[in-house]
Amino acid sequence: MAALTKLTTNINLEMSGDTKRYLVSAKQGDKATRFIVAKLLNNGEPYTIPTGSRAVINIAKPDGKHVYNTCTYSGSDVTVELTNQALAASGTAYCDIEIRTSDDSQIITSASFTMEIEKSQRDENAILSSNEFTDLENRIKGHIETIENTDAAVKKAELARVTAENARVKAESERAAAEKSRQENENTRIQQEKQRQQDTSQAVKNAEDATTATKQATKDCKEVTDRAEDALQNQEQLEATLNTATQIRQEVSQMQSAVEEAKKQVEQDKKDIDDTIQNSLLASAEKILESVQDYFNRAEALYSSMYLDCDGETPYLRTVTPIFIDGATPQVRRANEGVDFDGGTPTSRQLAV
């Protein structure tokens, strides 16, 4: 079955001021279908309800009866359900909303507003008006639950107390048995302590006798040890001397081997020196012969390099063309013309060097 649409009336409600009239209208006898959402304001600014507080609607019905119901809220918006009892009597109802802290130590109430409840055409005798205090009922119910919980807690605590008392009695019995056992153990300990003292005295005497014998044995042992150390020291000296001799022998053998090697190296070096001297003399002689041959070749070349270049041209050409005699070597003949002789005309003959 589909549910009926819920009708909501939104109003703005200052936390102080005169009564606001005709803000809400409803129909007598309606149930679970009409709601009011009141935005609480403080001088026009939203009044935020602290978390943990309670919101309550107070309604003075037209017939003089009252409604005191708990509301829900979010931020500064309070949602009021108009219950069947809130709308039981027709006429003008006066309402306000109060905010309470959880411990009721603080209370603040909004400005009042009126709600017009239109008369229903149903028989008024079928609609019985009475006081409705859901907030008080919820609080009483909470107290009853607290009392019931407390009673259950008391019973549980009493059961725990009885259990604890039984445990205490049992523990006391165990403690008494333990005390008896402790006393018996203490008597045994005293007897054992006496025996221990006797045993300790005898043990001390035995230890002193043993200490005396140990001192004598230690003295005898020290004498034997001293003799053994002397013998060991002599043996160590002999072994050290033998090791030194063996090492010297090894070193002499190594030196003999080194001498043989040095002798062989000297003989090889002597042979290499002789070969070097012989090869050096031969090479020097060959270089001297090469130098002499070179000087000879150069002298021969110088001897054969002399030439005469003579031109007996016509008397006309002789005025401008000289005769060249070059006595230079072949290497410089092209760079140095040597002796320059001009046998031109009788009037222009010149000698130029």
**Least trusted range by pLDDT, from 55-59, 138-142, 268-272:** 138-142
Q: What average pLDDT does the segment 39-53 reach?
A: 95
Q: Would you state the pLDDT for residue 309?
A: 46
Q: Which residue has the tokens 């002298």?
A: 299
Q: Is 15 exposed, middle or buried (0-12, 13-18, 19+ CB in 10 A)?
A: middle
Q: Would you state the pLDDT for residue 178?
A: 94
In the chain, ranges of CATH 2.60.40.3350 domains: 7-132
Query: Residue 130: is its pLDDT beyond 50?
Result: yes
Rounded to a whole number of angstroms, the distance between the first and last alpha carbons of the chain is 152
Query: Residue 171: is its pLDDT beyond 80?
Result: yes
CA distance 148 to 195: 68
Q: Would you state the pLDDT for residue 28?
A: 94
**Residue 339 binned pLDDT confidence (cut-offs 50, 70, 90):** very low
pTM listed for this prediction: 0.40
CA distance 90 to 338: 161
7-132 under CATH 2.60.40.3350, yes or no: yes
Torsion from C-alpha of 42, 45, 50, 54, nearest 10 degrees: 50
At residue 76, what is the residue type? S
Query: Residue 351: is its pLDDT beyond 50?
Result: no
Query: Residue 325: is its pLDDT beyond 70?
Result: no
User: Which of 28, 133, 31, 37 shows the shortest CA–CA distance to 80?
Assistant: 37
CA distances (Å), 70 to each of 54, 133, 279, in order? 7, 9, 136
Query: Residue 110: is its pLDDT beyond 80?
Result: yes
Q: Would you state the pLDDT for residue 307?
A: 43
**118 beta partners:** 27
Kindly report the average pLDDT of the chain as a whole number.
Answer: 82
- 48 Cβ partners below 8 Å, 6+ apart? 75, 76
